[in-house]
Structure 1
Amino acid sequence: MADTEREQQRAELYRGIWNIANDLRGSVDGWDFKQYVLCTLFYRYISDNLTKYINDGEHAAGNTSFDYVALSDEEAAPAKQGLVEEKGFFILPSMLFENVRKAADRDPKDLNEKLEKVFSYIEGSAVGTDSEDDLAGLFDDMDVNSNKLGATVEERNKRLVSLLDGVGNMKLGDYQKSRIDAFGDAYEFLMGMYASNAGKSGGEFFTPQEVSELLTRIAIGDKKEINKIYDPACGSGSLLLKAGKLIGRENIRQGFFGQEINITTYNLCRINMFLHDIGYNKFDIAHGDTLTHPAHWDDEPFEAIVSIIWSELTQRQSGSPFKAWMAHTKIA
């Protein structure tokens, strides 16, 4: 019964993504569309996540009628420092996904400017704190002023409204029980939609879930817990996250480490960490070439190292690149 319910929820999620794709068809290229949906999903996720975190705390303290969404920015501002220390970021009530969406439905004319300010504020909330590097640039791939959304500001805002409504209408389930899986499913579905048509980018960004699980199981073996896990070419982070799913995030005691040379994929990996509810203090994802400028040289030893290597050493007649997969374990 549980499997049937999960498949129904997944199917509904996929329909939601297709609905957004239909609304934006012909205006936004598939690979760019993927970025817009992922960033909007991320924006909704951290808004919902922060709201639930604050509301749960207030309700547990006896303030059962409290709702952070309804709070004024002035009332919320004093809590900024403490929340950044705990969650790694802060969002004013007026900047929450739910409130921005409602305001856009009433008057969409300046939605692009509003979203630009919101994304800048979220990233800026972490400046000067331990989570600064984890938040910086996460929304860079969502250009709300791009001509790809439309030739005029009016056209862009119309499509941004459709994007917010499409993501807002997705039934992602209860946060604690199913939301994280739903976001992960959306991510993988979007990758699958466009990886097959993305040529080299597809091979670079997308790893089938079955491959990730197989290689991660080989790397972890029968371990019930490890000190930390590392991927020197982490891509979107699928192997790291699969390890957390297999043995439990809490059983990777010192966290998740990785490095990625492609800036877009690097951003996706950090977003993916947040989407899977891994706190900013439990992951360290670096941007750069691991071979020439390894970022985690001083963090060794890692109890488990996982990696997928992609190359174009061999071309089949069909033009498909040869893919070499590798995973191994290093015992501390």
Structure 2
Amino acid sequence: MEVKTTSENINQILWQACDTFRGKIDSSIYKDYILVMLFIKYISDTYKEHYDEYMKKYEGNEERVKRALSRDRFILDEICTFDYLYERRNDVEIGSTINKALEHLETENSGKLRGVFRNIDFNSEAVLGKTKERNAMLKQLLEDFNKLDLRPSSLGNDDIIGDAYQFMIEKFASDAGKKGGEFFTPTMVSELLARLVKPKENDRIYDPTCGSGSLLIKVVNQVPNRKVAVYGQERNGQTHSLCRMNMFLHNIDDAKIEWGDTLSNPLHLDDEGKLMTFQVVVANPPFSLDKWAMGFAGNTNGDENKFKMEASLDPFGRFEWGVPPSSKGDYAFVLHMIHSLEEGGRMAVILPHGVLFRGASEAKIRKQIIKHNLLDAVIGLPENLFYGTSIPAVCCFLKRVEIGKMYYLLMHREKEIMRRAKIKIS
């Protein structure tokens, strides 16, 4: 009987692989090497098993096998498989060999993997040290991952590999402290938001600050058949790559994850160049982001103090209710999300406690949110819940009521007021 690979097996070996880098490189950096290698090992083992199956099915007919493999999720040539890299683990140019393998893998799968590995360099002297030290670490990394059996038949039907990836992201976020909050939302918070927005089949789901994608995945998993469209945007290039790999490892192959500043350069637009709208919008944006509007600045000749954000600078008209203070971008993200919410849509966002009370332009924006009947609930969250900050937070749940329903509610309310005042309604 074949021994199955369990989550415990994978997590143990992954954690051992981290020992290769501990004490030499910060975990916020070496996480990329671990998670990329996990991705390569998984798709390589899957490819190898499918190759063996097709060889048996087509009785060794290489042409038919090649045709069948071309329809797999990912196309792998020999030079970009894990086994190829492992066999060359003692080569003096192993870092360069891994880089070339990743580049070739991107080229062969340009529709899915274009740009995924652009922010990782296995031959970086600045990060991994000089040749001897670098090669020793990469050899050990390959030997650690060689212990893993990630063939689909060994993993079974459970989402073990996706869970392992998620486990490592959470571990890295915990290690990274403040930096960890930039790419990971704690599991229990993601679960809360996912349940609040109640996604339905065929919904378009959007996270404008998606990090490593953990929140989006939680929302997708609320739909039994997972038949939804997934959209996200992330400003940090390395985190954007993690998110795309995370989606693939959770079998979400058609997620549209863009790289860029959501506020100054939103990339999910409709055919007319306007913001796309979604039935479900969720986010855990960076708390009170300073200089959030600098992407609108244009040429200030290096003097940031010359720039002042104005509503007219945004071509999408998101700040007509007020321009958030330059040192606190919380309501900038909220306004972007509101403008990205379809009629009848649901929205949940994590924010620092201060958004409920701060004055000036934030108070004006808050008043407009209430006036337009968008706010449905506010849920208080305790201190020390998020990586890198001890402050309390809130989960704000908003709904954009359908215009017809809104009209009905307003008319009903008016009639009720008049009835109570004993005014005859004709």
TM-score in terms of structure 1 length? 0.76
Q: Determine the structure 1 residue equivalent to 2:41.
A: 44
Structure 1 counterpart SS, 2:115: coil
Q: Determine the structure 2 residue equivalent to 1:292.
A: 264
Q: What is the distance in 1 between the residues matched to 2:203 and 2:45?
A: 30
- CA 1:273/1:87 → structure 2, altered by over 3 Å: closer, same or farther? farther
Q: Determine the structure 1 residue equivalent to 2:139.
A: 161
Q: Which of 283-292 and 138-147 deviates more?
A: 138-147
Q: What is the distance in 2 between the residues matched to 1:262 and 1:272?
A: 15
- Tell me the CA shift for residue 180 of structure 1: 7.0
Query: How is 1:9-20 mapped onto 2 (pairs within 5 angstroms)?
Result: 9-20=6-17
- Tell me the CA shift for residue 27 of structure 1: 2.2
- Tell me the CA shift for residue 92 of structure 1: 0.9
Contact 2:205 2:216 in 1 (8 A): yes
Match of 1:213 among 177, 188, 191: 191
Matched AA of 1:156: R
In the alignment, structure 1 residue 63 sits paired with structure 2 residue 39? no
Match of 2:105 among 122, 143, 146: 122
Q: Determine the structure 2 residue equivalent to 1:196.
A: 174
- Tell me the CA shift for residue 326 of structure 1: 4.6
Q: What is the distance in 2 between the residues matched to 1:319 and 1:305?
A: 24
In the alignment, structure 1 residue 235 sits paired with structure 2 residue 230? no
Contact 1:89 1:126 in 2 (8 A): yes
Aligned length: 302
Q: Determine the structure 2 residue equivalent to 1:102.
A: 87
Query: How is 1:1-332 mapped onto 2 (pairs within 5 angstroms)?
Result: 9-57=6-54, 59=56, 62-63=57-58, 83=70, 86=71, 89-104=74-89, 107-127=90-110, 131=111, 134-147=112-125, 150-172=128-150, 174=152, 178=156, 181-220=159-198, 223=200, 225-248=201-224, 250-252=226-228, 255-279=229-253, 282-298=254-270, 300-312=276-288, 320=390, 323-326=393-396
Q: Deviations over 1:139-185 (max 9, x none)?
A: 23432112366543232122111111212213446458558733333
- CA 1:209/1:179 → structure 2, altered by over 3 Å: closer, same or farther? farther
Q: Which of 322-331 and 148-157 deviates more?
A: 322-331
Q: What is the distance in 2 between the residues matched to 1:123 and 1:183?
A: 21
Q: Deviations over 1:120-146 (max 9, x none)?
A: 11112245xxx1xx4232223432112
Greater relative contact order (Cα 8 A, min sep 6): structure 1 or 2? 1
Q: What is the distance in 2 between the residues matched to 1:76 and 1:112?
A: 34
- Tell me the CA shift for residue 21 of structure 1: 2.2
Q: Which of 91-100 and 164-173 deviates more?
A: 164-173
Q: Determine the structure 1 residue equivalent to 2:324.
A: none
Q: What is the distance in 2 between the residues matched to 1:24 and 1:237?
A: 25
Matched AA of 1:19: Q
- CA 1:49/1:277 → structure 2, altered by over 3 Å: closer, same or farther? farther
Q: What is the distance in 2 between the residues matched to 1:194 and 1:88?
A: 28
Q: What is the distance in 1 between the residues matched to 2:216 and 2:401?
A: 17
Q: What is the distance in 1 between the residues matched to 2:194 and 2:160?
A: 21
TM-score in terms of structure 2 length? 0.61
Structure 1 counterpart SS, 2:185: coil
Contact 1:229 1:305 in 2 (8 A): yes
- CA 1:135/1:215 → structure 2, altered by over 3 Å: closer, same or farther? same
Q: What is the distance in 2 between the residues matched to 1:209 and 1:200?
A: 17
Gaps of 5+ in 2: 289-351, 355-382, 403-426
Matched AA of 2:45: D
- Tell me the CA shift for residue 87 of structure 1: 5.0
Structure 1 counterpart SS, 2:258: strand
Q: What is the distance in 2 between the residues matched to 1:145 and 1:90?
A: 24
- CA 1:297/1:177 → structure 2, altered by over 3 Å: closer, same or farther? same
Q: Percent identity?
A: 31
Q: Determine the structure 1 residue equivalent to 2:296.
A: none
Q: Which of 15-24 and 268-277 deviates more?
A: 15-24
Q: What is the distance in 2 between the residues matched to 1:187 and 1:278?
A: 14
Q: Deviations over 1:270-310 (max 9, x none)?
A: 1111111222xx22111122222221231744232222233
- CA 1:314/1:301 → structure 2, altered by over 3 Å: closer, same or farther? closer
- CA 1:27/1:296 → structure 2, altered by over 3 Å: closer, same or farther? same
Matched AA of 2:76: I
- CA 1:298/1:194 → structure 2, altered by over 3 Å: closer, same or farther? same
- CA 1:330/1:94 → structure 2, altered by over 3 Å: closer, same or farther? farther
